[in-house]
A and B are shown apart, each in its own frame.
Chain A
């Protein structure tokens, strides 16, 4: 095949569950490539000598190498290549914003569509989900001998901590991961819905792969409450990684916000995902199933909440956003999926008041019509209210997805941890080390709410430094 033919070949489309079916179930939306589709898509890769895609990947997956193996049909080798730098490929292949990372940097994207790197990663990872053996992960026939002296603790069990655990355990460290909730996975479990990231099929398997590397998971343990950082050092841990996420939900600070029926996205998604409220009363966690649902915010979390409400049987779901749809920070694919499922984008609108009945239950929201003004300092046209132009929208369930503030639980109880001006943990950019020696931090508790892959990148940098200090060769 010549290069020019490769360049013109169209990107292999992702098979999806039809929109009118999936809007009523929690099964995965994207169905994944078949082996034929994956090999065909892999052929499109130009195998650049200086690949830009790798630079676009926060965990530096050797992308051309794994695609080359896949193009040859050696899926197992492709998996080993990915796993050499990425502990959670089945997760990343599903939830990474590939369009602005690896795929955004792909040279094919200049004239045509970039290689579907994320879909290929997902395919390869899924092929090996059933094989958690150490030789697949480390390309060594046996699991590494775990040195009980090289004890490392991770606080929080989300993507950054899982990355630290995977990196260090595969190099012989004894890692313990402490989780405050009753299930391991952090945002992968309580935040991202089943239809984007299956809990049993994907998250639990990735966690089990770590268990095989003798990573110990301790649930119901809260950093700053059940134990302090000093307690961990007293117990012989040589290094501590803090990956506790961003936490505390932001609200809109408008009248009526505490009416029953107004939820933070965190509460709404935690009830449904962690508490399995979609299967109430078989599961005990209750949820209000809104008839007319409104969601506030334009990020991935807003999309997740809106699509969840749709699946729980809402008659209508509106995403209320004060700018236009193309300014929404959510992944394009997620917005597209949401619209396909029948979700209305109520753009250039800003909530000013929630209204309720005499029992304190939400009944409607007062919205302010917005227009885009002059570009501000950041070059973004900022929305401003159109005077006198307000309207009321009926709603009995409102979900607020406008971000989070730093969670105080650990920070308040560890006064030696220096915080930055936004109140997040101050950590060295290259090593992730905090103001306390041998205590590292990464993910949302350092950056504020960001993506799974950025948290993993931070975890990887910290893990590398921890390994170096423990005298483990690269």
Chain B
């Protein structure tokens, strides 16, 4: 059945999970950089999630999410064999893949999963891909094994030093850019402050930097304009003009503000959900 969860892996228990979903129509067309919009149930909202991997042969797509609010909490309640009510995609522009040179793909937190698909696309196009991934500590690191399966180099940093370099991904990136002049592009996917920091790090080196933006979306097909972001002084829509943009031109401060637009309501919705669940248990 379409949209059935074939495999669920709790990557970080209670926080981050990976779903392999049967979606042959989407898998057939999906390219690195694309995302889906899904709705868990009849009363659910439409939320965008980046495609972390596809398997055209088996007709599946992989998504990874962080439980943040009610919608992701509902998703977390689904198990193998359950179906997601609505799943729409692949949406957004695919990653623009240039060939030749070294590509550094930087991923942070849940963004590592989305970065994985982009890195894979660069690898399949014949590029030399270096992955730099970071998390707060070792247990929170995602997709290390997957990235190591095709990236000749995977550099790791943790905030607490429990694994790899103690510090930030940008330190590893800066170090690398100083030593390596073959780098033609840097791709960054992760929390907004991380992407902004990556863009600041690469700027003095003049290396083109792609960031994948996780704006708020409703329809995801260019209708509503909720995902608008200022790039190079112009308003662009992350869903149809992106989600990837030139990191040196994105107004990250505005993006951060816009991402917080519904936070009081998201909190209210999550609390309402938890209350209802408690009442159900009683």
Q: Which residue of A lies closest to B253 (CB)?
A: A360
Contact A281–B269 (Cβ < 8 Å): yes
Supposing A281-B269, A284-B44, A286-B265 touch, asked if A258 and B228 sit within 8 A by C-beta, the answer is yes
B155 contacts chain A at the CB level, 8 A cutoff: no
**A203 CB to nearest B CB, Å:** 17
Contact B86–A280 (Cβ < 8 Å): no
Contact B43–A284 (Cβ < 8 Å): yes
Interchain CA distance A181-B221 in the complex, whole Å: 9
**A300 CB to nearest B CB, Å:** 17
Interchain CA distance A113-B25 in the complex, whole Å: 55
A227 contacts chain B at the CB level, 8 A cutoff: yes
Contact A280–B265 (Cβ < 8 Å): yes
Q: Which residue of B lies closest to A271 (CB)?
A: B218
The residues of B that contact A257 with a CB separation of less than 8 Å are 235
The residues of A that contact B222 with a CB separation of less than 8 Å are 247-248, 407-409
A276 contacts chain B at the CB level, 8 A cutoff: yes
Contact A226–B228 (Cβ < 8 Å): no
A260 contacts chain B at the CB level, 8 A cutoff: yes
Contact B218–A275 (Cβ < 8 Å): yes
Contact B26–A226 (Cβ < 8 Å): yes
Contact A266–B225 (Cβ < 8 Å): yes
Q: Which residue of B lies closest to A269 (CB)?
A: B224
Within 238-276 of B, Cβ neighbours of A (below 8 Å) are at 240, 254, 257-258, 260-262, 265-266, 268-269, 272-273
Within 194-224 of B, Cβ neighbours of A (below 8 Å) are at 218-219, 221-224
Across the interface, A288 reaches (CB within 8 A) one of B88, B235, B261, B273, namely: B261
Contact A267–B261 (Cβ < 8 Å): no
Contact B225–A407 (Cβ < 8 Å): no
Contact A222–B44 (Cβ < 8 Å): no
The residues of A that contact B261 with a CB separation of less than 8 Å are 260-261, 288
B95 contacts chain A at the CB level, 8 A cutoff: no
Q: Which residue of B lies closest to A245 (CB)?
A: B223
Contact B29–A225 (Cβ < 8 Å): yes
Interchain CA distance A283-B258 in the complex, whole Å: 22
Q: Mask for A413-433, Cβ within 8 A of B = 1, else 0?
A: 000000000000000000000
B90 contacts chain A at the CB level, 8 A cutoff: yes
Contact A220–B218 (Cβ < 8 Å): no
Interchain CA distance A182-B220 in the complex, whole Å: 12
Contact A219–B268 (Cβ < 8 Å): no
Interchain CA distance A168-B269 in the complex, whole Å: 44
Contact A247–B223 (Cβ < 8 Å): yes
The residues of B that contact A259 with a CB separation of less than 8 Å are 257
The residues of B that contact A180 with a CB separation of less than 8 Å are 88, 219, 221
The residues of B that contact A266 with a CB separation of less than 8 Å are 223-225
Contact A281–B268 (Cβ < 8 Å): yes
A359 contacts chain B at the CB level, 8 A cutoff: yes
Contact B43–A267 (Cβ < 8 Å): no
Interchain CA distance A360-B262 in the complex, whole Å: 12
Across the interface, A249 reaches (CB within 8 A) one of B70, B225, B257, B265, namely: B225
A270 contacts chain B at the CB level, 8 A cutoff: yes
Supposing A220-B87, A284-B71, A286-B45 touch, asked if A260 and B219 sit within 8 A by C-beta, the answer is no
A324 contacts chain B at the CB level, 8 A cutoff: no
Interchain CA distance A227-B24 in the complex, whole Å: 12
**B70 CB to nearest A CB, Å:** 6
Within 46-99 of A, Cβ neighbours of B (below 8 Å) are at none
Contact B269–A220 (Cβ < 8 Å): no
Supposing A182-B46, A220-B88, A275-B46 touch, asked if A226 and B25 sit within 8 A by C-beta, the answer is yes
Contact B86–A182 (Cβ < 8 Å): yes
Supposing A249-B224, A251-B235, A260-B257 touch, asked if A285 and B45 sit within 8 A by C-beta, the answer is yes
Interchain CA distance A50-B262 in the complex, whole Å: 58
Q: Mask for B81-98, Cβ within 8 A of A = 1, else 0?
A: 000011111110000000
Interchain CA distance A225-B219 in the complex, whole Å: 14
A26 contacts chain B at the CB level, 8 A cutoff: no
**A259 CB to nearest B CB, Å:** 8
The residues of A that contact B230 with a CB separation of less than 8 Å are 258
Supposing A258-B254, A286-B266, A360-B254 touch, asked if A267 and B218 sit within 8 A by C-beta, the answer is yes
Q: Offer 14 A-B interface pairs, CB within 8 angstroms, sorted by A.
A: A182-B86, A221-B88, A222-B91, A226-B29, A227-B29, A248-B222, A258-B254, A260-B257, A270-B224, A271-B218, A288-B261, A407-B240, A408-B222, A409-B221
Sorted nearest first, the 6 A-B pairs with minimum C-beta distance are A360-B257, A286-B265, A267-B224, A220-B88, A284-B45, A260-B261
> Which residues of B come within 8 Å of A, CB atoms?
25-26, 29, 39, 43-46, 70-71, 85-91, 218-219, 221-226, 228-230, 235, 237, 240, 254, 257-258, 260-262, 265-266, 268-269, 272-273
Q: Given contacts A247-B221, A285-B218, could you give 7 more A-B pairs where the C-beta distance is less than 8 Å?
A: A182-B85, A182-B88, A190-B223, A222-B89, A225-B89, A248-B240, A285-B46
